[in-house]
Structure 1
Amino acid sequence: MISTLSSRARHMLSDVRGVAATEFAIVTPFMLLLYIGGVELGNGLAMNVKVSATAHSVADMITQNTALTTTQMDGILAAATATMAPYPIKNGNTSLMTITVSEVSTDASGNATVRWSKSTSASGARTVGQAMTLSSFTAPGGTSNANISLILSEVSYDYTPNLGFTIAGTVKLSDSYYLFPRCSTNGPATLKPPYYDVKYPATSTCTCVQHLQKKTC
């Protein structure tokens, strides 16, 4: 009896059949987790790049104008959503993306407030007169943060992982850009500062394509 049990024990210890299947069963869950996590991380990073590109594109398009009508503003915001392709911007009737553009102007003391704001969301626009905080700076040519205007573009996107929703839920991706208006019809001899701004909403428009070029419409 003892010799039989000993023989069977030695046989079991030397039997390597099914080892590969056992190792595969142990490793597979971890490999799947790494694969799924890599896919979701890649999608999230790609969408985040798209969000940043959208924010920059909106600010860039707005700053090429001295004045915009409501129709033009709506067209720019609608066109900017195409930057997110091929990722969806709606989940059924629910918008996944919010774009808000505002003009922030400063007084002679450098105090910044919102002059106007427009958003693709009914509740996304900033309040006119809202105080804003800008970093103190001096641009080339001696321009300081007094009596200036900046265009602020803000974009947010609700990203829901396809496979990891139960772990991460919905992740809000967001980015913002400040850009100087590129040209203006304002001038020290005719109008009060800021001299470079974008008027909205306006009944007539003027567009320039060169940085800080004064242009008469």
Structure 2
Amino acid sequence: MAAIEFAMIVPLMLLMFLATVEVTGRIAADRKVTIVARTLSDLVSQTVSVTDDDMKNVFAASYSVLAPYPPDGAKATIAEIYVDKNKVAKVLWSKSGTVTQSGSTASSTLSASSYGAGDTITIPDGLKIPDTYLIFSEFKYPYQPTIVYLPQQLGVNDLSATAYTRPRQTKCVAYTQAGACP
């Protein structure tokens, strides 16, 4: 009798264990993605101006927050947004970056962003303060689940997060290659 009960309960217990492992792994990865997005905007908002080399360093440093998850396939974007007197948010400058990791060293590559200078962008209403600037970051990560089959079939592997911060040292963070602040 006990052997029959054991045989009936083991598959259920094993399924519950594997589901717990997968759910907690995904929650941990999602939290890391949120922290990376916040780190990106926070690092840029603490400066007066940035260059391409600074952006590469920011991307590389922020990806270290993602550990122990590999940065493969992840993409980050940083942009500065100006909210005009009519509460319309427009992109001043934007840059995307990816990171490759070899051993303990991370190096980043810059690329054009999907947000172009002058593009109107949607931001939360609470951030629409006229004549202000925001540093916007977006981070997308293709999460690889521990139990590969089920989440891939459901299409729930892509994680993403955005963050907004205000410049701290100055009203506007100038991006040297894009020109000075207006």
Q: Secondary structure at the match of 1:58?
A: helix
Question: Aligned to 1:148, which of 127, 132, 139?
Answer: 132
The C-alpha deviation readout for 1:122-172, integer Å capped at 9, x for no partner, is: 46541222111234448xxxxx71111100011111112121x22111511
Select which of 34, 55, 63 maps to 2:37.
55
Aligned residue for 1:117, secondary structure, equals strand
Provide the rounded CA distance (Å) in 1 between the counterparts of 2:113 and 2:21.
31
Bigger relative contact order, structure 1 or 2, given CA contacts below 8 A and separation 6+? 2
Q: Retained in 2: the 8 A contact 1:106–1:113?
A: yes
The 10-residue stretch of structure 1 (124-133 or 48-57) with the greater mean CA deviation from structure 2? 124-133
Looking at structure 1, the residues matched to 146 and 75 of structure 2 have their Cα atoms a distance apart, in angstroms, of 21
Tell whether 2:142 aligns with 1:133: no
Per the alignment, in what secondary structure is the counterpart of residue 48 of structure 2?
strand
> Unaligned 5+ residue runs, structure 2?
99-110
Q: Secondary structure at the match of 1:104?
A: strand
Match of 1:201 in 2: 176
Q: Aligned partners of 1:29 and 1:106: how far apart in 2? A: 56
Aligned counterparts of 2:135 and 2:116: Cα–Cα separation in 1: 15
Aligned AA (2:83): T
Q: Are the equivalent residues in 1 in contact too, given 2:86–2:130 (CA < 8 A)?
A: yes
> C-alpha distance in 1, partners of 2:169/2:93?
18
1:49-198 equivalence runs, <5 A: 49-90=31-72, 95=73, 97-121=74-98, 122=111, 124-137=113-126, 145-163=129-147, 165-169=148-152, 171-184=157-170, 196-198=171-173
Where 1:162 maps in the other structure, the secondary structure is coil
- Superposition RMSD in Å: 1.9
> What residue number does 2:7 align with?
25
Q: Which has the higher strand share?
A: 2
Q: Which amino acid aligns with 2:160?
A: S
Which structure has the greater CA radius of gyration?
1
Which amino acid in structure 1 is aligned with residue 36 of structure 2? T
- Give the secondary-structure state (helix, strand or coil) at the position aligned to 1:131: coil
- Would the alpha carbon gap of residues 30 and 123 (structure 1) be closer, same or farther in structure 2, given more than 3 Å must change? farther
Q: Supply the AA of the counterpart residue of 1:145.
A: I
The change in CA–CA distance for 1:136 and 1:162 in structure 2 (over 3 A counts) is closer
Contact 2:25-2:146 within 8 A present in 1 as well: no
- Unpaired runs of 5+ in structure 1? 1-18, 139-143, 185-195, 204-217
SS in 1 for 2:174: coil
Which amino acid is the alignment partner of residue 111 of structure 1?
Answer: V
Cα distance, 1:202–1:53 mapped onto 2, change above 3 Å: same
